[in-house]
Structure 1
Amino acid sequence: MSLGNVSGKIKHTFVIEGFDTIDRPLTVGIVILCIYLLVMLANVANIYFILHDKRLHKPMYLLICNLAVVDMLYSSSASPTMIGVLVAGDKTIAYVPCFIQMFVFHLGGVMEMFAISVMAFDRLIAISSPLRYQNILTNVRTLVLAGALWVVACAFVAVMPATVFPLPFCHSTLKYTFCDYAALVRATCVNPIYYFNMITIITFFLLFGTFCFISLSYIWIIFAMVKMSSKNNKRKMYITCFSHLIVVVCYYVPLFVRIVLTRLGVVLTLEERHGLMIGAILGPSLVNPFVYCFTTKEIKNKIAHLFCSILYKE
């Protein structure tokens, strides 16, 4: 069928069929709902503790806030739709909200990379140039840097709706669990190979670019830590870097498994792909706030003080 014959076909709604093979959809939906609520609560708490205490208005904590916002955006891009399908049985999503969901989801994914990378940069400056840290990375510069990354991320992700929106759609069913780029491209009437290759190039550039930047930052950090004479300073830097490394591993490992290995010929079933996708969305978003709650002394003290106040009042 030529494009001219199908160009008039506009799908007003899509049907999400990614969960049709699940045996216990309600149980899975409730689990996702509980994790999602925990993600939102933990990240909101992190942001509240940091913004409420002026002593925490420092570049590192502002970047933690930025990561919390990214985590909430990333998890909120897909979780409500998946919960609606699994718990309420509502499998339909309108055309425009589907495109918005695709944009927000991929924006959250790109911003996760950028947020983690800029936090590695923060640790690099703090450890390699501790005396100049406050002059190099001020609060204003941190906010400007974070804002610039959001703009750059939007520019990268805008390619996706811009390339898919003009295409004719022949299918109203999506074999994935929500609206992402792959799901929408496969619903069109065109050969998806060109569009997948284009996005693969952009994804590999972002994925390996940010991962290489983080890796090089930590190589430099290791050299800087080796030169430190104070064991106490080494311990503090180790704790700070260890928490960030947990965040890096939680985000990049599922990505490498799902994107890199599949491109190397590893075949994943649709269920395995869905599982990795859901884990890649909710896993880092859940781990990140708890990592910084329990490894950052100031935030941990704020939480302890809050609970003590509640218990004392009772």
Structure 2
Amino acid sequence: MQGANLTIWGFFFLEGFSRYPKLEIVLFVFSLVMYLITLLGNSTLILITILDPRLQTPMYLFLGNLSFMDICYTSASIPTLLVNLLSSQKTILFSGCAVQMYLSLAMGSTECVLLAVMAYDRYVAICNPLRYPVIMNRQVCVQMATVSWVTGSLTALLETSFALQIPLCGNLIDHFTCEILAVLKLACMSSLLMDMIMLVVSVLLLPIPMLLICISYVFILSTILRISSAEGRSKAFSTCGAHLTVVILYYGAALSMYLKPSSSGSQERDKIISLLYGVLTPMLNPIIYSLRNQEVKDAVKKMLGKISLHHTQEQL
């Protein structure tokens, strides 16, 4: 019976930021505002990519997938964080913890692959513009997006299923979410198999896609510098600059979390990085793409104009 208790817990306590009670209200307001902006920004981006015929291109198909991922990713953990910041009993059921861990890993892993796919799309668009419609046809784009989702979902399933089978010697998670590294710190003994799975998946989804992105951008930069038209160079830099900004933000936080020595840094620092990684980056993605992309700004203005016209007609 004692052995069973080590393995299966009905619920977990989430330590979160309870050591700093005065900070919790500030974090609640910060997280709530960021979450609402994330939902609004990413939902708007999805909506305009569906409704505006000019945005029915591969880049915006991938961008719509990225926005949907960001909504799912934040919705997996931020609502729980918001409730726990105002609650004295910061608990989560085992089933809720499992779902939260899986969704966070699945969305994060899928985004790693999708960002590499988006870099390849920009490479083909800029380096092979005449062949772009043939190479990146609708069927190929759907297949690439599907591969991203399947890869992320399967690697997350592998990590989650093994992590939840490891005997745990406690149920107090020193984090604000069921983050896999925080949960594994409760393990009664180290698992070589789990360590290997985490290492292989981390290398597969972080350095390898990042290397492919860097190679793509070396070719892209070389091609852009050869463009004679200043307007053409500006447009190419604009779309690629937005994607590259998102890549740096996302991979910078992910690499600092998953490819550092286990003894490196404090858990408090990890929580702050996770908060920025889980709230700030998804919120900034649609803003970055909107500010750096004239087509997106035009589509938003067009949609707002239609809404305003419809509202005026209803009043009349």
Q: What is the TM-score with the length of structure 1 in the denominator?
A: 0.91
**Quick check: 2:110–2:152 contact (8 Å CA) kept in 1?**
yes
Displacement of 1:216 in angstroms is 0.2
**Quick check: 2:108–2:152 contact (8 Å CA) kept in 1?**
no
**Quick check: 2:109–2:151 contact (8 Å CA) kept in 1?**
no
Displacement of 1:51 in angstroms is 0.4
**Quick check: 1:59–1:142 contact (8 Å CA) kept in 2?**
yes
Displacement of 1:191 in angstroms is 2.5
Q: How many residues align?
A: 309
| 1:304 pairs with one of 301, 304, 307 | 301
Deviates more, 1:74-83 or 1:207-216: 74-83
**Runs of 5+ unmatched residues, structure 2:** none
What percentage of residue pairs aligned between the two structures are identical?
25
How far apart in 2 are the matches of 1:140 and 1:296? 25
How far apart in 1 are the matches of 2:298 and 2:245? 21
**Quick check: 2:159–2:197 contact (8 Å CA) kept in 1?**
no
Alignment correspondent of 1:92? 91
1:284 corresponds to 2:281: yes
**Quick check: 2:97–2:178 contact (8 Å CA) kept in 1?**
yes
Alignment correspondent of 1:175? 174
Q: What is the TM-score with the length of structure 2 in the denominator?
A: 0.90
The one-letter code sitting in structure 1 at the alignment partner of 2:18 is: D
Alignment correspondent of 2:261? 263
Alignment correspondent of 1:11? 9
The one-letter code sitting in structure 2 at the alignment partner of 1:148 is: V
Alignment correspondent of 1:206? 205
Deviates more, 1:68-77 or 1:181-190: 181-190
The one-letter code sitting in structure 2 at the alignment partner of 1:253 is: G
The one-letter code sitting in structure 1 at the alignment partner of 2:53 is: K
**Quick check: 1:6–1:169 contact (8 Å CA) kept in 2?**
no
CA-atom RMSD in angstroms: 2.1
The superposition leaves residues 222-277 of structure 1 with CA deviations (integer Å, 9 ceiling, x where unpaired) of 222233233322221111111111111111222233344x4297x42222111011
SS in 2 for 1:287: helix
Alignment correspondent of 2:156? 157
Displacement of 1:55 in angstroms is 2.4
The one-letter code sitting in structure 2 at the alignment partner of 1:183 is: A
Alignment correspondent of 1:103? 102
**Quick check: 1:6–1:170 contact (8 Å CA) kept in 2?**
no
The superposition leaves residues 140-185 of structure 1 with CA deviations (integer Å, 9 ceiling, x where unpaired) of 2211210121111112112212212323332121111110212222
Alignment correspondent of 2:45? 46
Alignment correspondent of 2:249? 250
1:132 corresponds to 2:112: no
Deviates more, 1:47-56 or 1:295-304: 295-304
